[in-house]
Chains A and B, each alone.
Chain A
Amino acid sequence: MSEAELAATPPARQIAPLGLLARYSTLVALLALIAFNMAFTNHFLSVQTLNVNLTQVATIVIVGVGMTLVIATGGIDLSVGSLMAISGAIAPIIFMGKIVKIGEIHVAVAVAMILAVAIAGAFGWFNGWLITRFRIQPIVATLVLFIAGRGIAQVSTNGNLQPFKLAEFQWIGLGRWFGVPVQVVIMIVLVAVAAWVLRRSLFGRQILSIGGNERAARLAGVPVASIKRWVYCISGLCSGIAGLVVIAINSSSDANLVGLGMELDAIAAVAVGGTLLSGGRATIVGTLIGALIIQLVRYTLLANGVPDDVAKLVKAGLIVAAVWLQGRGQA
């Protein structure tokens, strides 16, 4: 009877081959891309290529880690690009001594980094507060800072470009650690910690339970509001870190450009990575792989002489394919 009972429960359909493909599709796609490049792209297998590609995705993945957690609760964060701009605007103001002169440059840089990231985190927390306190839909609540955030960044710099040349700060975007770019190290550490937290910690389970069924989670004693505020705060912190990396690479901070379009790149990486956009199922490593796929497709096309505009179309196609596969895998 148990056999029949198991089989007769409504959603019990066969695991379609497509379902299996969906489960590992991201990894398969990544390996296929690598294999393709090994065969057809000149000089693909080199440390140089690896570093170029990893450097390109690092900021997307750093933001994507926070975005994955937000999406796991069933939310979305559109403000990440603007929070990058805020963090990128505040750090130079501090380490260039525009408010208070700090004599020791290392202290100045440390204070600048910590404060910039903390302020981005505070704005993230504000997103969570809007969402939980007033029950505003995440897409609308984070739209507030999507619009206002860049304004805040511009006002705080009077709309000026802030150029600088400061090795003590710029190691975060230009430095190497045993030959590995520092931002790649940051990315790997963040991915590892977040993946572990999501899988093994109480916080991670509670995030997934909220995304899976918020009402049930609340009735089981999950502190829904506080978890959500933390998740948006983490997304803000990640954005803050990514903002620092970007201005360090550029050697200047332009509030108009830092993090522009990042929300969409991060959401795309999360979606291609196999995280359920409706919440409840999420994979941090998937987001890393998703970002790598998007980057590698672009790289492959450019390296083989396809114009960037066409590459964008392919990127869009990838997202559609990922979401479609997700639908199949879920059924």
Chain B
Amino acid sequence: MTSPAISDTKAPLLAMRSVSKAFAGIPAVINASLEVGAGEVHALVGQNGAGKSTMIKILTGYFSRDAGEIAFDGAPFEARSPQDAQHKGISTIYQEINLVPYRSVTENICLGRESRRYGLLDWNAMHAEARALLERFKINVDVRQPLMRFNTATQQMVAIARAIGFSAKLVIMDEPTSSLDEREVAVLFEVIRQLKRDGVSVIFVSHKLDELYAVCDRVTIMRDGRTVKTANMSAISKLELVASMLGRDVAQVARSATAFGGRHGKIGEVILEARNLAAGHKVQDVSFSVRRGEITGLAGLLGAGRTETARLVFGADPMRAGSLDLDGAPLKPRGPLDAINRGIGFSSEDRKLEGIIPDMSVAENLTLALMPQLTRAGIVDEARQRTVVEKFIKRLDIKCSGPDQRIRELSGGNQQKVLLARWLAMNPKLLILDEPTRGIDVGAKAEIQKLIKELADQGLGVLMISSELEEVIEGSDRVVVLREGRNVAEFTDSGVNEANVMAAMAHGKDADPARELTP
């Protein structure tokens, strides 16, 4: 960040001016403007539904615009499709890595633009091209090896290299870090800096504020379809940024970084006791407990075995060794249904893949687990179903046109609320929340955190996994740190702080006397 200020006198690489777009008469982007200078890393932020995605999809030709102008590289710009946009120098990197793990690095990089000679593939030319491209990002691997031989970070880099190619002048990264751990994020940032040195511009979309400050020069904030503010990163505080996104005043946001609030009172007896759990490669030996009215946080780096541990408790995966007690009685779930019948709920980290049933309505998604209880003689009692659904739509303030709206049409935050309601409707004893606020906007995030705390106050036992350190630390009464499939530290009360938890995550040891390791 040697020259954060991009001078206004120089013509920007990209200028979107007064862009508008409506869907079926409902505006999604209103008179929005975005300027990105050459070699600038520009953050685009806003709550879910603020119009960021629409803005980007207009730029890349996925949607047409209703009004406004786009100039790119000194000329009016029009993309007919994302492929066309890439051809013209604008590449997009999505959250998911869309690669073929069984094929070689070269094949993945050259997929769709193979070199041919006499109708056959010219492997030498393709290997050379792949090598040259990866060299640009300081990656030295054997491009003939199958992609799955390499770690996630390398795979991610291959995906990025493939997307950027040699010709991109502007790279759009839509939440690129959501599935990366810290080390991989660091590698990604290095790539961004390399791009910047090469004069390539980046539009960086992320919900994680720290990342914006680490790597971006300027930020444009969107709210309700409008671009409400553009500022140099160095000239705007986190608080101002959040306040602009939410449209609230600074003092209101200042109170706390998360919405969990203070510690609550009564923590009861142990509900869940897990001893020496083991499964697969990722869970070696994990022991912990959850008490009534307590939020237990599972902390650890990506791959530490947090999700895998949680899935064992829910019976979603088979256990190799270890034992579980629920309310003092042994729990041996053969599948999720057993766990549900014992009063456990589980919200997966992957909303799309394991949470929502996209084509079904809000009502049907919300009552999916409860359905057997709403059934008499095999027939669903639709009146009772409706009562339950309406109660939870109101209680969790789920924004939808009604119980019959298809869930895929809702924003991520509202989908997550429906999935939480799916379990709350069961009135569980123990709720397992894997990344309950991943990829949702700041407003919905605060609401969900507040709700989790309220539920714990009412006596629910919560096992929470989150990759956001402040969420685990501010939200949990007890933090169990996992590292490489083992629980390495446990903190309560004042021991729950960033220094302790991070030290344990990083080194597997803690300096705190409150440590309670199982022998």
Chain B associates with chain A: yes
Interface string of A1-23 (1 = CB under 8 A from B): 11111111111111100000000
- Are B368 and A7 in touch, CB under 8 angstroms? no
Determine how close the nearest CB of chain B comes to the CB of A254; give it in whole angstroms: 39
Q: With a 10 A CB-CB cut-off, give which of B26, B369, B422 has the most chain A CB atoms.
A: B26
Is B49 a contact of A9 with CB atoms below 8 Å?
yes
Q: Interface residue tally of chain A, by bracket?
A: 35 or more
On chain A, the residues within 8 Å of B346 by CB distance are 219
Interface centre among B22, B54, B341, B368 (most CB of A within 10 A): B368
CB distance from B231 to the nearest CB of A (A): 22
In the assembled complex, the Cα of A231 lies from the Cα of B217 at a distance in Å of 58
| Nearest CB on A from B175, distance (A) | 13
Out of A1, A15, A213, A217, name the residue touching B24 (CB < 8 Å): A15
A60-86 toward B: CB 8 Å interface, digit per residue (1/0)? 000000000000000000000000000
Q: A7-B22, A8-B49, A221-B340 are in contact. Are A203 and B368 (CB under 8 A)?
A: no
Contact check, B408 vs A202: say whether CB atoms are below 8 A apart.
Answer: no
Question: Which chain B residues have a beta carbon within 8 Å of chain A's beta carbons?
Answer: 22-24, 26-30, 48-51, 53-54, 224-225, 314, 316, 335-337, 340-341, 346, 348, 353-360, 364, 368-369, 371-372, 375, 378-380, 382, 399, 401, 408-411, 422
Chain B contacts of A215 at CB under 8 A?
A: 353-354
Establish whether residues B357 and A212, one from each chain, have CB atoms under 8 Å apart when the complex forms: yes
Q: How far is the CA of A10 from the CA of B415 in the complex (A)?
A: 13
Question: Does A206 interact with chain B (Cβ within 8 Å)?
Answer: yes
Chain A 199-241 interface mask (CB, 8 Å, partner B; 1/0)? 0111101101100110111111111000000000000000000
**Min CB gap A210→B, angstroms:** 9
A298 within 8 A of B: no
Q: How far is the CA of A272 from the CA of B316 in the complex (A)?
A: 37
* Pair B340/A216 contact, Cβ less than 8 Å: no
Knowing A8-B51, A221-B340 are in contact, say whether A205-B364 is a contact too (CB < 8 A): yes
Q: Is the CB of B359 within 8 A of A212?
A: yes
With both beta carbons as reference points, the residue of chain A lying nearest to B347 in the complex is identified as A219
* B375 in complex: contacting residue of A1, A202, A219, CB < 8 Å: A202
Chain B residue with minimal CB distance to A330?
Answer: B359
Which residues of chain A have C-beta atoms less than 8 A from B53's C-beta?
Answer: 8, 10
Question: In the complex, what residues of A have CB within 8 A of residue B378's CB?
Answer: 201-203
Q: Which residues does chain A contribute within 8 Å of B340, judged by CB atoms?
A: 220-221
Whether A208 pairs with B360 at a CB distance below 8 angstroms is yes
Partner of A213, one of B49, B50, B357, B410: B357
Q: Does the CB pair A12–B371 fall under 8 Å? A: no
List the A residue with the shortest CB-CB distance to B443.
A1
Cα A5 to Cα B24 with chains together (Å) = 13
CB-based contact A201/B355 at 8 Å:
no
Most chain A C-beta atoms within 10 Å of own C-beta, residue among B27, B54, B353, B357: B357
Task: Please judge, given known A-B contacts A201-B378, A221-B337, whether A4 and B225 are in contact too, CB under 8 Å.
Answer: yes
Decide: A209 near B375, CB < 8 A? Known: A215-B353, A215-B354: no
Q: Which of B30, B354, B375 contacts A216 (CB 8 A)?
A: B354
Q: Kindly identify which residue among B225, B356, B360, B379 contacts A201, using a CB–CB cutoff of 8 Å.
A: B379
A202 touches which one: B28, B51, B359, B372 (CB < 8 A)? B372
- Knowing A209-B364, A213-B358 are in contact, say whether A200-B23 is a contact too (CB < 8 A): no
> Are B49 and A11 in touch, CB under 8 angstroms?
no
- Cross-interface CB contact of B399 among A5, A15, A206, cutoff 8 Å: A5
Sample (8) of A-B pairs whose CB atoms are under 8 Å apart? A2-B399, A7-B26, A8-B29, A202-B372, A213-B354, A218-B335, A276-B359, A281-B359
- B368 and A220 within 8 A (CB): yes
Tell me the smallest distance from the CB of A112 to a CB of chain B, in Å. Answer: 30
Residues of chain B within 8 A (CB-CB) of A221 are: 336-337, 340-341, 368-369, 372
**Chain A residues with CB under 8 A of B372:** 202, 221
Bound complex: CA A212 to CA B23 (Å): 26
Q: Is A88 an interface residue (CB 8 A)?
A: no
Question: Does A274 interact with chain B (Cβ within 8 Å)?
Answer: no
In the complex, what's the smallest C-beta–C-beta distance from A1 to chain B, in angstroms? 5
B409 / chain A contacts, CB cutoff of 8 Å: 6, 9, 11-12
Residue of B nearest to A14 (CB): B24
* Contacting residue for A8 out of B24, B28, B335, B353, CB 8 A: B28
A5 touches B49 (CB 8 A): yes
Knowing A213-B358, A217-B357, A219-B316, the reply to whether A9 touches B337 (Cβ < 8 A) is: no
